[in-house]
Structure 1
Amino acid sequence: MRYFFEIAYKGTNYAGWQSQPNAIGVQAVVENALSKLLRAEISILGSGRTDTGVHCEQQFFHVDIEHALDEVSFLGKINSFLPSDVAIRSIQRVKEEAHARFSATERAYEYRITLKKNPFLEGQALYYFKDVDLALMNKAAATLVGVHDFEAFSKVKTDVNNFNCNLKRAEWVKEGDKLIFHISANRFLRGMVRAIVGTLLEVGNGKLSLQDFKLILESKDRKQAGMNVAPHGLFLTRVVYPESIFQQ
């Protein structure tokens, strides 16, 4: 029987979703907890990977379990086995062909910036003190919407068949002393959001023109784009699936 688990985590103490040689990932922590609870070796498959230090408000993974679960009871049990910075939000039975990664139709991220030093946002927002032209940044961001080749904003060594993504939203919103970049697409490349944000900030502070930004996208050359911003400001906020995959 296949189940989807909805998970949230603070990424500060983890090497992203997957473990690295010298650091543990969220996936391993969850697999360890499930294996202890179910008294069997459990492997899970996530909807995608997050990099070291990136946070997650909503992600999913699927797991195959021999016997039916009491979702409500099991939710309480699994959370008691997990550390305080990892939480399972919900458990739902899905059809056998449902896949946490390949069935997803949309993913959304936010990159959060604080314009004033705020100790309560330490580790959860980038402190950025330079003045930026928000309107110009949004003009540049708007050119990303639609289907484009995003190789210029992808990590160089990555195992993908193509660099095409269909962006549905790319927009900066100012909320008091905070700037939040909202971006959603059918898929994302490794390092893509952080590279886009870093390049848009260079547009905002006058280092790049709107035309420069368009040429960077067309170049398909990572060296032309700006630096990756720090991971602690990035949040995976939503993963969307078709209703048809869930058991009625």
Structure 2
Amino acid sequence: MKIALLVAYDGTDFHGFARQKHARTVQGELESRLSLLLRAPVETAGAGRTDAGVHAAGQVVSFDVSREIDPAWVQMRLNKLLAPEVVVRTAAKVPDDFSARFSATRRAYEYRLYRSPVPDPFRDRFALWVPGPLSLSKMRAAARALIGEHDFSSFCRRGEGSMVRRIRSISFSSRQDELIVRIKADSFCHQMVRSVVGLLLEVGAGKRAPGDVGKALRAKHRNAAGPVAAARGLHLVAVGYRPSPFERVDPTPSRR
């Protein structure tokens, strides 16, 4: 039997999602608690290997179990052990050939920032403070060059094989002093979203021209893209599958 979990977490105090031998990670905590509950070693697969400090509202995790078990029971018990830092939002039985990582067809990230005269201690854990003005029109113009299939070598860390990826859309939503950049793609390479956002922020602040984004793509060199945006503003919000392993669930918990 195989189970899939829809997981949300505050990544601030974790060294990323993927298990590490000598560091506290989201996957490590999940596997430790699952092994305790099921009284057997459990290895999981995750849809996204989020970095240290990156959050998730829609991470998907799958794992095998040797006997029939109620997914709702797994959800309830894990939440008693891990919440509120890590929360299982729903759980479901899935086909044996399902993989949270390899069955995924789409992924969506949001980068959240806020613009105000001073930092906000109640938001700074989950969003980047930007003290100066930003030109949304320039950021939108710059983002158009990134849509489609490209070699994103300038926006990714080396050592991952091919850096060719397809970005489906980049959208911007602004409400009061908050700005959310949402990027959808088939898949992402390491630090790609934060590198894209870092360059777009430089364009918005007037430090780079919108045309510099296309130049950075063509350069195929990491230095061409510029700084990587801080981890705390990044959220994995949705992972797409055909068909979805879960009944309809709002991928983003409400923000008040």
TM-score bucket (shorter structure)? over 0.9
Note the C-alpha offset of 1:130.
1.5
The letter of the residue matching 1:182 is: R
Alignment partners' CA distance in 2, 1:33 and 1:152: 39
What CA deviation, in whole Å up to 9, does each residue of 1:180-203 have, x standing for no partner?
A: 101010000100111111111111
Note the C-alpha offset of 1:55.
0.3
The letter of the residue matching 2:153 is: E
Match of 1:147 in 2: 149
Equivalent residue runs for 1:51-200 within 5 Å: 51-116=51-116, 117-156=119-158, 158-160=159-161, 162-200=162-200
Q: Any runs of at least 4 consecutive aligned residues in structure 1 with deviations exceeding 3 A, and if so which?
A: 19-22
Note the C-alpha offset of 1:154.
0.3
Alignment partners' CA distance in 2, 1:89 and 1:194: 26
Length-normalised TM-score, structure 1: 0.94
Note the C-alpha offset of 1:142.
1.6
Alignment partners' CA distance in 2, 1:2 and 1:73: 14
Higher share in helix:
1
Task: List alignment gaps of at least 5 residues for structure 2.
Answer: 247-256
8 Å CA contact 1:106–1:241 kept in 2: the answer is yes
Task: List alignment gaps of at least 5 residues for structure 1.
Answer: none
The letter of the residue matching 1:137 is: M
Match of 2:4 in 1: 4
8 Å CA contact 2:3–2:71 kept in 1: the answer is no
Instruction: Kindly tell me the number of residue pairs found equivalent between the two proteins.
Output: 245
8 Å CA contact 1:195–1:226 kept in 2: the answer is yes
Note the C-alpha offset of 1:74.
2.6
Alignment partners' CA distance in 1, 2:62 and 2:188: 20
Note the C-alpha offset of 1:218.
1.1
Length-normalised TM-score, structure 2: 0.91
1:218 aligns with 2:236: no
What CA deviation, in whole Å up to 9, does each residue of 1:76-121 have, x standing for no partner?
A: 1121122420011111111111111111000000000010132210
The letter of the residue matching 1:136 is: K
Provide closer, same or farther for how the CA distance between residues 244 and 213 of structure 1 changes in structure 2, counting only shifts above 3 A: closer
**Secondary structure, counterpart of 1:15 in structure 2:** coil
Percent of counterpart pairs with the same letter? 37
More deviation, 79-88/10-19: 79-88
